[in-house]
Amino acid sequence: MFRYTLRQIQYYVAVAESGSISGAAQACHVSQAGMSLAINELEKAVGTQLIVRRKAKGITLTTAGRGFLKDAQVLLREAEEIQARIEERHGELAGPLAIGCYTTLSAFWVPLMTAGFAAPNPKLELTITEGAADELQLQMLEGRLDAVLTHTRHVTGGAEMRVIKEGRPYILLGAEHRLAGRAKIALPELASDDMVLLDIPSVRDNQLPNLRDAGLDPKIAWRSTSFEAVRGMVARGLGYTVLVQRPPLDVSYEGLPLVCVPIDGHIGHSDICFAYPGRQRLSRRLTALMDYCAQSVGAGDGAAGR
């Protein structure tokens, strides 16, 4: 017989994540006294101290408490999954679905996933966390995210993936660039040109080696962490760039024209995919989201980029 309840486990996780009894009580909509009592009863049930209470300084987890937290989080996820499967047997998508989205993909895919998939399924609790691909996948492998929307070149060890859209890099030029009228451009032809770099870790770690393998050692003159700022600098004639995602309109935020030119020759692809923990059964709602995104691309939905 279990000596603790799921409610006590839920309250303990809330205390650990908020860092205080009062914060957890507020988040769970219970009294501070009720929250404190539940933690006391849980510690009695498991036979060890889980937290150290410090007046005006919140709480600190004990060594046993840190280990118990990981087990408690797994238990809560399993309980949520069981409840969701019960509801899904009635034909509805229900329950939590935590997705990570690589920053440069968010403008293309977050509107699609929220308006096109989550909104029509009101019992689905979709949350989307944006950030760097490696950091998001670390959260995924720790159990905090169900899957991460990213590029295949960014997928880390311990993860499997499902490709939902081909991602072949292309060259972006300003309308006045000497090569703007070309049908294709070989990368070595840009060796003497300045490059405007999308200066984020995954591009530095993946795209630059990809370009060098294809015969171009870029002469980086300008940098920005903003996708649209890079496009704007290219439109202003400061250099070229190489991107994967392509907005529906080939203009900058200022309304200046841009030209997208295919690469002539071999270039490593960076397809868009969902990465998910290896050897793990996928929930029906995650599979449905993957199917929806893949079908939307096949139907030519502009929100997914070109």
* pLDDT computed for residue 287 by the predictor: 93
The pLDDT of residue 195: 97
Neighbours of 218 (CB within 10 A): 21
Give the model's pLDDT for residue 84: 65
163 DSSP β-pair partners: 273
Q: What residues have CB less than 8 Å from 169, skipping those under 6 apart?
A: 207, 210, 242, 243, 244, 263, 267, 268, 269, 270
In the chain, where does the domain assigned CATH 3.40.190.10 lie? 95-164+274-300, 170-262
CATH class of 6-84: mainly alpha
CATH topology of domain 170-262: D-Maltodextrin-Binding Protein; domain 2 (3.40.190)
The answer to whether 206 and 151 are in contact (CB under 8 A) is yes
How do residues 3-13 score in pLDDT, each as one tens digit?
A: 889 899 989 99
May I ask the CATH class of domain 95-164+274-300? alpha beta
Which segments of the chain have a pLDDT < 70? 1, 56, 84-91, 298-306
Residue pair 32/22 in contact (Cβ under 8 Å)? The answer is yes
Residue 189: what pLDDT? 96
Alpha-carbon Rg for the chain in angstroms: 24
Where, residue-wise, is CATH 1.10.10.10 in the chain? 6-84
Bridging pattern class, strands 219-224 and 194-198: parallel
Residue 94 has a pLDDT of 84
